[in-house]
Amino acid sequence: MNLPSNLLPAHSLRQRNTLGFAVEAEFAIHITEAKQIAEAIAYAKDRDMPYQVLGSGSNVVLPDALSGLTLLMDIAGIEIASEDAHGVKLRVGAGVSWHELVIWTLGYSYPGLENLALIPGTVGAAPIQNIGAYGVEVKDYIDSVEAFDCQTMQWVTLDRAQCQFAYRHSLFKANPQRYVIATVNFFLPKQWQARISYADLHGYFSGNEHSSITPHAIFNAVCAIRTQKLPDPKQIGNVGSFFQNPIVENSKLTELKQRYPSIVAYPEDANHSKLAAGWLIDQCGFKGLRAGNVGVHDKQALVLTNPGKGNAKELLALAEQIQETVRNRFGVDLVIEPIIFS
């Protein structure tokens, strides 16, 4: 690749962040092959340029101007690496759309990913926060991740354990800037079981014959529920849930339940429960609130929005106000889910 001639100076990222902020990258480059990652990182490091990596921008809050080099991850390709009676291994490029991969797997009768339908973003970003929805996390299907280690300037293949996946977390999120993911290898087992215990899905299928609950039926159910509940970034800028659901000790939940009997919580493990962050925010009266050019969605308090002219500064000020109010009222800290670029 002739790197300098592929650099896009003063490149607008407005179409590449789902908040729809007007953002300009000092230089951007489309990465369509794995080897270009090493070249781009070496180029930036040689010139002491900062660099950052962007998938489709559905989980980032970007400032008005991004200095240095922004790698736009566009590596395509879904390959069947191997298949036997136990399952199939897929090798997927970082730039493939996550939802397109889910559709592809179901089309080839490889179920497993259906609960994760319609999550925006690229395959390469899926391991970063271990995307999850409707009772399933992507970590259960990741076999390994192939990434360029920008610290050692070497290629690495990390197995599932090495990726240190946790709730909305991973080795990659813990070490921002260190790994650029080129390929994700998935293992989808042949043995399939419907996972519909999550309240919305359970409700959707209540009264159905168990045999009618197919992977396609779950896919359709998830798409229908999500479309109804979450705002479409094409209509109004957003990054989905702006805060993680806080995990608290069971003793804290008991204390909160005495004061707020209708509090929404789910068991996490023997000693912990997960609180619905949306409920906490809603109780503080933020749902539907407009603060200058940004706001809180009127149907889902967990989603902060940019109706058109907002920017990162305004959105983060609103997020801070929400965090402070929830902390004062419930004694619970809300952690921001998207990655804040500076």
Ligand X SMILES: Cc1cc2nc3c(=O)[nH]c(=O)nc-3n(C[C@H](O)[C@H](O)[C@H](O)COP(=O)(O)OP(=O)(O)OC[C@H]3O[C@@H](n4cnc5c(N)ncnc54)[C@H](O)[C@@H]3O)c2cc1C
Catalytic residues, by residue number, are 168, 241, 337
Residue tagged 């805060």 (tokens): 243
Closest approach of Cβ 118 to ligand X, in Å?
8
Task: Examine residue 237 and tell whether it contacts ligand X (CB under 6 A).
Answer: no
CB of 284 to ligand X, least distance (A): 22
Question: Which of 181, 265, 281, 334 lies at the binding interface for ligand X (CB under 6 A)?
Answer: 181
Tokens, residue 87: 């399952």
Q: Is 180 in the site for ligand X (CB under 6 A)?
A: yes
Residue of 87, 215, 240, 278 interacting with ligand X (CB under 6 A): 240
Q: How many CB atoms lie within 10 A of CB 73?
A: 23
Tokens representing 185 are 């290898």
90 forms part of the interface with ligand X (CB under 6 A): no
3-class DSSP state of 6 = helix
Question: DSSP states of 94-120 as a string?
Answer: TTSBHHHHHHHHHHTT--S-GGGTT--
Task: Tell me if 315 contacts ligand X by CB under 6 A.
Answer: no
Interface residue with ligand X, options 87, 132, 215, 246 (CB under 6 A): 132
Buried b (16+ CB within 10 A) or exposed e, 260-273: eeebbbeebeeeeb
Q: Which is nearer to ligand X, 128 or 296 (CB)?
A: 128
The rounded distance, in Å, linking the Cα atoms of 198 and 266 is 10
Kindly state the DSSP code that residue 138 receives in the 8-state scheme. Answer: G
Shortest CB 96 distance to ligand X, Å = 10
Q: Which is closer to ligand X, CB of 142 or CB of 253?
A: 142
How does DSSP classify residue 248? Answer: E
The verdict on 128 binding ligand X (CB under 6 A) reads yes
User: 3-state class of 229 per DSSP?
Assistant: helix
| Residue 171 CB coordination number (10 Å) | 18
State the nearest-atom distance from the C-beta of 259 to ligand X, in Å: 30
Minimum Å distance from CB 131 to ligand X? 3
Residues 40-79, mask of contacts with ligand X (x by CB under 6 A): ------------xxxxxxxxx------------x------
136 binds ligand X (CB under 6 A): no
β-bridge pairing 51-54 and 65-73: parallel
**Shortest separation between residue 55's beta carbon and ligand X, angstroms:** 2
Residue from 11, 18, 275, 295 binding ligand X (CB under 6 A)? 18
In this structure, are residues 234 and 272 in contact, taking their beta carbons and an 8 Å threshold? no
**What 3-state DSSP class applies to 64?**
coil
Inter-residue contact 262 to 243 (CB < 8 Å): no
Tokens of 341: 């670029």
Residue 132 vs 295, nearer CB to ligand X:
132
Are 70 and 44 a contacting pair, CB within 8 Å? no
Binding residue for ligand X (CB under 6 A) from 20, 112, 121, 278? 121
CB of 102 to ligand X, least distance (A): 12
Question: What does each C-alpha distance from 134 to 13, 92, 116, 221, 226 come to in angstroms?
Answer: 31, 23, 7, 11, 10
Q: Does 306 bind ligand X (CB under 6 A)?
A: no
Q: Does 145 bind ligand X (CB under 6 A)?
A: no
Residue 75 vs 265, nearer CB to ligand X: 75
How many residues make contact with ligand X (CB under 6 A)?
33
Asked if residue 111 binds ligand X (CB under 6 A), the reply is: no
* Cα dihedral: 157, 160, 163, 165 (round 10): 160
Return residues touching ligand X (CB under 6 A).
Answer: 18, 52-60, 73, 94, 119-122, 124-126, 128-129, 131-133, 179-181, 230, 233, 238-240, 339
